[in-house]
């Protein structure tokens, strides 16, 4: 009687369970939008299914069919079947070749499945980057995947609808902006009230429509946002043009990170790559480029999705195909990266990892929370070392230490003890 939203909790639950056709017209529009994407996406992936994944995809299509026909009971049964099969297949896959997931090829229309021999030849060629799926771009190093571009292009004008397809990203700002802000404020002695990040230069890689770029700009930083999709930059540019303060603080450019590395080496206090590393092809190069554009002591902020069973089940199957929280085709599970792997890549490029924390999305409330558990989404903060010379790899330092210790202790009795300790 006095306003508020008395039925909203119930409605949210129903929405999540997939009765999307009920409700506002916007819902219907979104539904057809997803159907369009699905329609565009299916021909590209179907021919490229490996035998060991074919069953999984087939079952997922059956499930989406079940969704469309609104038979909830069947859906849950298919989910059960699906989960059971995934679990079984993953167990068998674990015993199989470790490298099979890496040669997942999503490049459309290129005829046949690559031969293993051809790959080996390509890999041995000095000019080709080491991951086979970049062979179409073998003349230049790039981390951008053209298929990802297509997916995002279809939704380029939907960025700023806070209740639309990108709603989870809007509400993720409640976590990522304080995360970036607080970690950057630790590096300064005092800050201006009202503009805590003023004086900082930040690069937002894969800025999309500028969802994270604008809050950082409002906090006083000068931000450059880059994105390979031209439409995204247009949307972002258009959105910031109405605010005179943001117009001055933010600059948008179309392109990839590799293209600007030369001209912007060591100029940024912080690089933000939020929800980006699960879309790039060559993560090693990407991180290298991030490191190059950072000032010594600068921060790199990454938020991404872990590569686990749970992230497949919830992040792809549930979020994309059942509940529609994320547009279909946004993510591919193979590109997800575990925090351990990310940490090792970061450390090997001279970035010391400060924090890794899990994030959890509650689809019923629409809010994100920090969590101890990193098995779904997580955020990482790494700092570029301030040392001038190239960072020495860890094992050399280790050996140097053992040699020093051996020199110090000439007695035989202590040496094995020391070596055992070092081995631990």
Contact residues toward other proteins (CB under 8 A) are: 1-5, 8, 11-12, 14-15, 23-24, 26-27, 160-164, 167-168, 170-171, 173-174, 177-178, 181, 192-196, 214-220, 238-239, 242-244, 325, 363-367
The residues with which 222 forms a beta bridge, in sequence order, are: 201
What is the nearest approach in angstroms of other proteins to the Cβ of residue 252?
15
How many Å apart are CA 409 and CA 204, to the nearest integer?
52
What is the nearest approach in angstroms of other proteins to the Cβ of residue 24?
5
Is 251:224 a contact under the CB 8 Å cutoff? yes
What is the nearest approach in angstroms of other proteins to the Cβ of residue 273?
18
Closest to other proteins by CB, 152 vs 368, is 368
Q: Is the dihedral of CA 206, 208, 213, 215 positive or negative?
A: negative
Burial group, residue 223, by CB count within 10 angstroms (0-12, 13-18, 19+):
buried
Closest to other proteins by CB, 114 vs 196, is 196
What is the nearest approach in angstroms of other proteins to the Cβ of residue 371?
18
Secondary structure of residue 337 in the 3-state scheme:
coil
Q: Name the residue with tokens 């771009």.
A: 137
How many Å apart are CA 304 and CA 403, to the nearest integer?
40
What is the nearest approach in angstroms of other proteins to the Cβ of residue 2?
5
Is 361:311 a contact under the CB 8 Å cutoff? no
Identify the helix (H) or strand (E) that includes residue 248. helix 244-249
Closest to other proteins by CB, 183 vs 338, is 183
What is the nearest approach in angstroms of other proteins to the Cβ of residue 266?
26
What is the nearest approach in angstroms of other proteins to the Cβ of residue 193?
5
Q: Which two tokens stand for residue 159?
A: 């960025």
> Left (φ > 0), alpha (ψ -120 to 50) or beta: where does 322 sit?
alpha
What is the nearest approach in angstroms of other proteins to the Cβ of residue 337?
25
Closest to other proteins by CB, 245 vs 394, is 245
Q: Which two tokens stand for residue 227?
A: 């994105």
Is 299:381 a contact under the CB 8 Å cutoff? yes
Closest to other proteins by CB, 121 vs 365, is 365
How many Å apart are CA 226 and CA 207, to the nearest integer?
6
Closest to other proteins by CB, 224 vs 260, is 224
How many Å apart are CA 327 and CA 152, to the nearest integer?
9
Closest to other proteins by CB, 19 vs 371, is 19
What is the nearest approach in angstroms of other proteins to the Cβ of residue 46?
30
What is the nearest approach in angstroms of other proteins to the Cβ of residue 66?
22
Q: Name the residue with tokens 């003890």.
A: 417
Which has the closest alpha carbon to 381: 349, 334, 342, 348?
A: 342
Report the 10 Å Cβ neighbour count for 100.
12
Closest to other proteins by CB, 24 vs 73, is 24
Is 11:145 a contact under the CB 8 Å cutoff? no
Report the 10 Å Cβ neighbour count for 386.
9
Closest to other proteins by CB, 17 vs 265, is 17
Closest to other proteins by CB, 74 vs 191, is 191
């Amino acid at each position: 009687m006095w306003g508020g939203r008395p039925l909203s909790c119930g409605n949210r639950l129903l929405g999540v369970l997939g009765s999307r056709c009920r409700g506002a017209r916007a819902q219907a529009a979104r539904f057809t939008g997803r159907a369009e994407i699905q329609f565009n996406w299916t021909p590209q992936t179907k021919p490229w299914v490996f035998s060991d994944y074919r069953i999984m995809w087939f079952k997922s299509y059956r499930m989406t069919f079940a969704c469309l026909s609104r038979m909830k009971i069947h859906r849950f049964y298919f989910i059960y079947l699906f989960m059971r099969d995934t679990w079984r297949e993953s167990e068998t896959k674990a015993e199989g070749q470790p490298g099979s997931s890496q040669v997942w090829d999503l490049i459309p229309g290129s005829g046949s499945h690559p031969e293993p021999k051809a790959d080996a030849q390509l890999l041995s060629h000095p000019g080709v980057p080491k991951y086979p799926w970049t062979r179409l771009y073998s003349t230049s190093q790039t981390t951008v995947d053209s298929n990802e571009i297509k997916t995002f292009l279809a939704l380029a004008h939907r960025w700023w609808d806070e209740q639309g397809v990108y709603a989870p990203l809007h509400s993720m700002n409640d976590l990522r902006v304080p995360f970036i802000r607080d970690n950057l404020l630790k590096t300064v002695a005092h800050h201006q009230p009202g503009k805590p990040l003023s004086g900082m230069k930040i690069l937002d890689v894969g800025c999309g429509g500028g969802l994270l770029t604008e809050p950082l700009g409002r906090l006083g930083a000068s931000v450059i946002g880059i994105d390979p999709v031209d439409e995204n930059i247009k949307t972002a540019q258009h959105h910031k043009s109405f605010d005179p303060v943001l117009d001055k603080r933010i600059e948008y450019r179309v392109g990839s990170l590799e293209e600007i590395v030369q001209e912007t080496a060591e100029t940024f206090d912080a690089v933000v790559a939020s929800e980006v590393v699960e879309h790039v092809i060559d993560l090693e190069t990407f991180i290298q480029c991030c490191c190059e554009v950072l000032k010594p002591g600068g921060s790199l902020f990454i938020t991404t999705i872990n590569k686990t069973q749970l992230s497949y089940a919830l992040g792809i199957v549930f979020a994309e195909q059942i509940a529609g929280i994320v547009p279909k085709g946004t993510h591919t599970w193979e590109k997800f990266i575990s925090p351990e792997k990310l940490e090792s890549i970061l450390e090997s490029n001279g970035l010391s990892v400060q924090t890794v924390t899990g994030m959890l999305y509650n689809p019923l409330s629409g809010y994100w929370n920090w969590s101890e558990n990193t098995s779904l989404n997580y955020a990482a903060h790494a700092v570029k070392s301030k040392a001038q010379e190239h960072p020495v790899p860890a094992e050399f330092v280790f050996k140097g230490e053992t040699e020093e210790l051996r020199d110090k202790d000439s007695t035989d009795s202590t040496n094995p003890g020391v070596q055992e300790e070092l081995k631990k």
